[in-house]
Structure 1
């Protein structure tokens, strides 16, 4: 029997998800022939284990389809410009806008061949896992097909590498592509004059709040406005801006995550109440609602044994993107905020006589050359297909043509054809065993982000990542460049030239999409200035509310770091929703040789992990079960999040602390559905028993018994045979006893 048929036969014997319930644990045969296990915790988060990376990413694709298949349909149709096939003419403008500035299938196919074999395997295996679940929907639609397909009267298409590439590129650019507003700035310059422009649209506003407080560099003196290009028709500039705004509004209306903001904080051991580094990450990607699918999802991915050297990473991704974007590995944690540095420029093209077939020509290097046409057919539900033609210049996509004035406008992206370098960088980050490895990974990211990092060695770091254009001396970064070959970029900035800091004297980093450091210029980004109209004041100085809180409660403990989510939500000046994902992580090492990794980690994805709604309209029990946790920041009580723990015994929280000589660690997870882990710490060899007692004091299980050497020993407590309730885990040696409370809940 072929592998896919054999897999499907086995799969249909397993109940995958039921109305109003959680997706169940499942063991599958991946496309590489290896076994992959998907274990769901009480919140429906998939913990995926296999002996190969290919099998793990297959499992992630399968789990993503279980939870978010219809959402994934929306995302890939958005990213490939095929939403009008379902929504009709209402989505046509969005499809045309996407196809104008993104790649064609042929270009994506060529880009895929340039990826490393490891990344190719990750993407292909993820695609295979999604298709394995899609097969189950065709075989048993009443059980496995999301209700939105039945309501719409269509079936899911097979997923593909092309769709995966498009989704990954779309979201990487959605949050890391900045700028391209030069026509709006030029229209302002023409209308308001030089003095207004310099005062309200400065290249660098030294009063803006920053993340790196101390720097020996100073801003370059203003060069003044330098522009000798043609004027822009105000109506053309207004139309281009309106089209961008309409595209964003359409994406938001379709539930596509959009670039709004993110906040982050990293606390050094010196500023921490416990003496351990801590990190908070909170991407804001659209306002969560209790009745709307989360736009992020959580995964744990483990290759091999949890004590081994294989991939082991957990945290947040977006459905359609394999791996983990924000999260933690063994003893390391990281997060991102959008960097907001200008990496997209407009080049003005001087039009010439039309070429064959009416194709526009433009002046470049002293001759008129034809623009490259891209003719595509767009399917439109309820109407005939529409033939749509867009054009590209040597710089990139042409986004506006002013034939009356003989000019056109073309984008140039500093990351052109290299968006997936960010996925390569994340692969490197998941492998990193030191801050040096993480820094090297950060240097590979081509788009604009702020990256924050903390590790068990008690390092904290902030890197402003991305590739940015080095413009010629006669170019004003706020205004269009000449597109005739006489004002070309001189290259791209090097990572070492960009804002970054490690283990700062200030003791912490905080960021809310604000400027990284005083000397860093802002290009056509008006958000890093306090002037209006157009300035977004929260980008200018909103981070001060985060800084004020941290400095007022220093030394900072775990709960006060969590409290930043309430600060964002309730501050009087810039109140905003807390985030579409929130994680708080504390890290340290313990043991006589520093061999143990201690942590406290909690997170929340509102409203919940699953987006599955069955054909009767009943959502999964994990659709909104995290909503009460998320809403805790709106009240006056403690901030509530759920445990964010690893499978296995590689990382274990310990209540005894890094310096205790004898103790029994807190059980994790707790409550435990089927098993938990405790750490036994001994200052000398001893005969040990770790036993479980019920509420009546009866010994109901023995987790470990025998001679133990001095040191730290993770012990697995099997609770699968225990009835739900409250128990005591007791460590007994010849001379001492320690106990911890354990709750078994299913």
Structure 2
């Protein structure tokens, strides 16, 4: 059941709108005037045909025209959302929302070099500039229309927040990619938080034991972890499982500040939390309550599965993608089709980035998931005690590169801050009292725009064998998947990675004095890849790309045998072949599947074998053994079906306390205590949590007879601990709920479509939120590409809907939430490729200046 959190009436558009605005073009400023030093400008036509779900299909004669139409349509649908995204990426939120966002803007300005993107754009070819300029000019055309008819066209959010939209530049358009893709999905790093954890363990246990505990909870390699590149196709050896404690750690500050975070706690009045590390109580409480699979408050995840050859039935192949950007209102997904110039493509993309993330051109279709490769390192700079604006590097003190950033604040005087950059990257923290600073090195720094343009170019490639040459340019760590019309499948782990000193332990920061500097950047072609795997399937749920590929430094993501990707692998390998529809239906089961059960229940079963159980314990055990492993609420009574989900969750929670809490300590146990179940609100993804993964690894080692790196059971027989945790959890449930096990039910957390973006910045009004009663562990959108031999057939769905427009009178676009029920029921809508296949077309015609 879907609930809407609003009380306004629905808006109805006229069926056909035709607007010709040629007369005001040259005076508008949107189109460059022709001079003796510029190319001629001629009139050209752009047609925007919206389908029954409001998705715009753009028709124009050149690249400028199709991207003009793209920008224009996005502005009609999502202007306020994209405006706040622009401001989130640039650090200009306080200018329109006030002083309470100053710290956020300061964080953005000091974290990312504001000079970089404009400098990259200045070097673009005229062709590439025209693409981005067309997008900006299209937005600005709609802004002209708003200024002419503010009483009907102004999005209500501007009225409520009391500011006006401003014109867009090429740089602004580029930030629609740079913020959500590079900053969000390729900038993860918790090296300082890891160091804090290790130092706390050393205070509690001493260095030797502390290193064992740390390595048992945050490892780099695991030969049992599922990989997207089949293990048999790679010759990469596994590295040492438990490397020794790096000697250079003794050179680092013993008072390490944690990683500087911008995070959002999804409460009605919540502001972004800027904190040194996850020691902030609100952040830690969130970890303990719901776990995490990304920046606190936001998931960074995705899944994909594809089959071809003997595993595909009724088609040459099929590919299903589910990017888990989060559930928000407006959606993080925007549907679009571009037909003209070099482009003949339909699909959808993250927010409204100029590059299409999930699309096809009738020859190849492509998708992506977050790759989580380790592209970012923290360097601890040693400051000059006599001059904190200098730092030691290669034997001498050198000055930081520094400049002033002015932050405008609504209703107040502007404030100026100093930002710094070292040879390693932007200085995110400076602590003169400790004579240290922390710099963040990023392999993709300075490559954002070429990455964007390579991704745009991908839409023009029609031969799967030519895809890798384009992907070589993409610097951010995104997994790419391609299917062509003949069913060929390609996987490529995208991104550029550093060549590190062999002494560098990637889980920790390193001294910035020069000895452990990067030794270069690896080519994108060196990343894991496979064309037509012999298994005839590809699967990824943010799992390990290939054997020999290390886990990232983030403490919340470590690859091991316990991995939710196995849910998808088991589904595919359970049958000989799948039709596209059968493959699509995997999504529903995967969305409700327990991510922990298959790894832990066999251990409990073995522990309770031949044990004498009480009557109530026997009933609870029988419920677990008869459980199908899904968190269903089929009768929609607001409770999960049966007692088993609650029993399992309670037992796992008790087991984590019994094993890890005394070892990791009270403070840091909040990182490990969550069970990863849909009983606490999530913002986009459910996953095995760090404590559960460490527990599974420990149990596996004990079962195999291998001495654990560290035994969280502290020498007690694991079966005894599992049995006692089970007895304790059953007793606690009986005390809370009574001894009638039929009344034991876990309660679902609602799946809320929040009105704040991935930085915690408002992107809609509070009453524009929606919610579904049960969390679905699935993509923010799902798309299906079917290889038909002669062409590609495509379907997709995303909630709430295509448009976010609410008029000044509070009337909503009919496409504000018209996909909610379709999404909740795991339905899908066909994505028309040919114009003749568009259902209920609505046409708008624009006349523009097209540079030739």
Runs of 4+ in 1 over 4 A off after TM superposition: 22-32, 229-236, 246-253, 255-259
Within a 5 Å distance, the mapping from 1:25-424 to structure 2 comes to 26=18, 31=31, 33-104=43-114, 106-192=115-201, 193-214=210-231, 215-222=234-241, 223-230=243-250, 236-238=256-258, 240-241=259-260, 243-245=261-263, 250=271, 259-288=299-328, 292-303=329-340, 310-355=342-387, 360-424=389-453
1:262-314 Cα distance to aligned partner (Å, 9 max, x none): 111111132111141111111111124xxx2112111100016xxxxx41111
Q: List per-residue Cα deviations over 1:377-408 (Å, max 9, x = no partner).
A: 21222433222222211111111223232111
Q: Secondary structure at the residue paired with 2:795?
A: strand
TM-score calculated relative to the size of structure 1: 0.76
Superposed CA deviations along residues 134-185 of structure 1, whole A, max 9, x for unmatched, are 0000011112111111223322111112222233211221343144321112
Aligned to 1:8: none
How far 1:549 sits from its partner (Å)?
1.6
CA distance in 2, matches of 1:464, 1:19: 43
Which of 531, 536, 559 pairs up with 1:507?
A: 536
Structure 2 CA distance, aligned partners of 1:465 and 1:486?
Answer: 28
Check the 8 A contact 2:320/2:584 in 1, yes or no.
yes
Q: Distance in 1 between matches of 2:63 and 2:109?
A: 33
TM-score with structure 2 setting the length? 0.67
Instruction: Show the counterpart of 1:583.
Output: 783
Alpha-carbon separation, structure 2, partners of 1:175 and 1:153: 28
Uncovered stretches (5+) of structure 2, i.e. residues with no partner: 1-9, 26-30, 32-40, 202-209, 275-294, 596-676, 678-685, 687-775, 843-852
1:630 aligned counterpart, secondary structure: helix
Closer/same/farther in 2, CA of residues 256 and 179 from structure 1, 3 Å limit: closer
Distance 1:632 1:198 in 2: 43
Q: 1:337 to 1:246 in 2, by over 3 A?
A: same
Q: Aligned partners of 2:830 and 2:461: how far apart in 1?
A: 24
| 1:220-245 superposed Cα distances (whole Å, 9 cap, x missing partner) | 2344332314565566434x35x344
CA contact (8 A) 2:94 2:105 kept: yes
Larger mean CA deviation between 206-215 and 226-235 belongs to 226-235
| Cα deviation digits, residues 481-540 of structure 1 (max 9, x gap) | 221222221112223322111111111011111111221112413444368xxxxx9xx5
Corresponding residue number in structure 1 for 2:653: none
Alpha-carbon spacing, 1:631–1:286, altered in 2? closer, same or farther (3 Å):
same
Among 564, 571, 580, the alignment partner of 1:549 is 571
CA contact (8 A) 1:327 1:334 kept: yes
SS in 2 for 1:628: helix
C-alpha distance in 1 between matches for 2:317 and 2:19: 37
Structure 1 residue corresponding to 2:481, chosen from 440, 443, 452: 452
Task: Give the Cα–Cα distance (whole angstroms) in 2 for the partners of residues 181 and 22 of structure 1.
Answer: 51
C-alpha displacement of 1:213: 2.6
User: For the structure 1 residues 487 and 461, does the alpha-carbon distance in structure 2 shift closer, same or farther, using more than 3 Å as the test?
Assistant: same
More strand by share: 1
CA contact (8 A) 1:174 1:259 kept: no
The match for 2:517 is 488
| 8 Å contact from structure 1 (residues 371, 391) kept in 2 | yes
Question: Which residues of 2 match residues 671-710 of structure 1 at below 5 A?
Answer: 672-673=839-840
Structure 1: which 5+ runs fail to align? 1-17, 305-309, 532-536, 590-596, 634-639, 650-667, 676-746
Shift of 1:247: 9.6
Native 8 Å contact 1:187 1:232 kept in 2:
no
Say which SS state the counterpart of residue 541 (structure 1) adopts: coil
Which secondary structure state, in structure 1, belongs to the residue aligned with residue 490 of structure 2? strand
Please state how far the C-alpha of 1:22 moved relative to its aligned partner.
Answer: 6.8
Over 3 Å counting, the alpha-carbon distance change for 1:375 and 1:24 in structure 2 is: farther
Partner of 1:558: 580
More helix by share: 2
SS in 2 for 1:351: strand
Rate the CA distance shift 1:146–1:570 in 2: closer, same or farther, 3 A.
Answer: same
Partner SS, residue 610 of structure 1: coil
Could you tell me how far apart the structure 1 residues matched to 2:128 and 2:785 are? 28
Distance 1:475 1:210 in 2: 24
SS at match of 2:815: coil
- Give me the whole-angstrom Cα distance separating, in 2, the residues matched to 1:338 and 1:37: 34
802, 810, 813: which one aligns with 1:617: 810
1:630-666 per-position Cα deviation (integer Å, ceiling 9, x unaligned): 0103xxxxxx1111121347xxxxxxxxxxxxxxxxx
Question: Which stretch shows the higher mean deviation, 22-31 or 428-437?
Answer: 22-31
Alignment equivalent of 1:572, drawn from 561, 578, 594: 594
3-state SS of paired residue (2:180): helix
Name which of structure 1's ranges 262-271 and 332-341 shifts more when overlaid on structure 2.
262-271
Task: Quote how far apart the aligned CAs of 1:674 are.
Answer: 6.1
Deviation larger for 54-63 or 156-165: 156-165
Distance 1:247 1:159, change over 3 A: farther
- Partner of 1:174, secondary structure, is helix
SS at structure 2 position matched to 1:423: helix
TM-aligned CA distance change 1:229 to 1:220, over 3 Å: closer
Separation in 1 of the partners of 2:841 and 2:315? 33
Query: Structure 1 residues 513, 523: closer, same or farther in 2, change over 3 A?
Result: closer
Deviation at 1:71, TM superposition (A): 0.8
- Larger RCO (CA under 8 A, 6+ residues apart): 2
1:451-496 deviations in Å (ceiling 9; x for gaps): 1110013210110110011101222211212212222211122233
The secondary structure found in structure 1 opposite 2:544 is coil
Taking only aligned residues, the RMSD between alpha carbons, in angstroms, comes to 2.7
Deviations 1:558-585 (A, max 9, x none): 2222223312321122654422221101
